[in-house]
Amino acid sequence: MAATLESVRPITLAEIRAARERIAGTIVRTPLIKLQLGPDYPDIRLKLENLQPINAYKLRGAANAVAMLPESDRARGVWTISAGNAGQGVAYAARQAGVPCTVVAIETAPQSKLDRMRALGAKLITVPYDIAWKALEDRAYPGAEGTFIHPFDDHNFIAGHGSMGLEILEDAPDTAAIIGGIGGGGLVVGVGSAVKALKPDVKMFGAEPETAAPASLSFRKGSPQAYADWKLSFVDGAGGQSMFPRMWERMKPLMDGYIVVSLEETKAAMRLMAEKARIISEGAGALPLAAALTGKAGKGPIVAIVSGGNIDLKKFFELIES
């Protein structure tokens, strides 16, 4: 099937601006707040995508991708593959469009994410993580019917995420660096495409957990890599098993570096946001703050993208107390 895919091409500023207008009635323009940490820390601002209607940034891409489908494709229904946030985004957009949605969902996803997808009207097919990752490569799964919307390797999906980059530069024009978590890479490619077109000197960094860091490994090796030591963790919304070659091609011209953080650093970032700003973040949403706190992205101003807040509250409290 890969041979029939559209060739990878840059996401243009015009496409991102058009996407912004297209999804304006669906998404929220989320706030950008300064995290008050004191003079010994970098200047860090938080882009609160956890405040989207589905509590995650994926709604931006999903809304744009569904809206741009030809009527004949939408009429067939849509399906996607997700650990929870992309599934919620596609289900939300599909419900607005009045079309059925199926999600091949990772069975270890937080129960809150599974419940939300069902509440949005999605039919769920639950599978192990490695099966879902293989289905992402194949773009197919038995029993999943309709038009497939890839949760990251999709031009229109990524263009929707680019709308966030426009907002960041409008609200914080002095931004020196932006950090986004990496699962498949769609977030950093979308934001990076907008930001580099407008202010190429702004640095773009990707953050990954130590248990699943194929982008950082690929950066060191100079080619897309599988992560042999991959382990499942509470950071379920980031950290893939491998770097898709198509996404690597998209990321190379946009990224300035990758920062790998420990699970303990991620927990500490979750706790810090709860204490200082009363923000509930899932593990993937805390990765960028954890990365900013290492100092590897400079003194700032740094925008750390809080990509989502979909986490079971019991699990959240266990993590921040541990």
The model's pLDDT over 244-277, given as tens digits with 9 standing for 90+, comes to 999 999 999 999 999 999 999 999 999 999 999 9
DSSP state of 242: B
User: Beta partners for 34?
Assistant: 45
What are the residue boundaries of the structural domains of the chain, listed by start? Answer: 2-56+155-321, 59-148
Instruction: Decide yes or no: CATH 3.40.50.1100 for domain 2-56+155-321.
Output: yes
- The answer, as to whether pTM is greater than 0.85, is yes
Residue 1 predicted with pLDDT over 50: no
Nearest 5°: CA angle at 84, between 79 and 90?
A: 35
Residue 173: per-residue pLDDT = 98
Cα–Cα separations (whole angstroms), residue 255 to 25, 220, 322: 30, 13, 33
Residue 211 predicted with pLDDT over 60: yes
Q: Given CA atoms 231, 235, 239, 240 in this order, what sign does their dihedral have?
A: positive
Summarize pLDDT for 282-297 with one digit per residue, the tens: 999 999 999 999 999 9
Q: Which fold has domain 59-148?
A: Rossmann fold (3.40.50)
Residue 322 predicted with pLDDT over 80: no
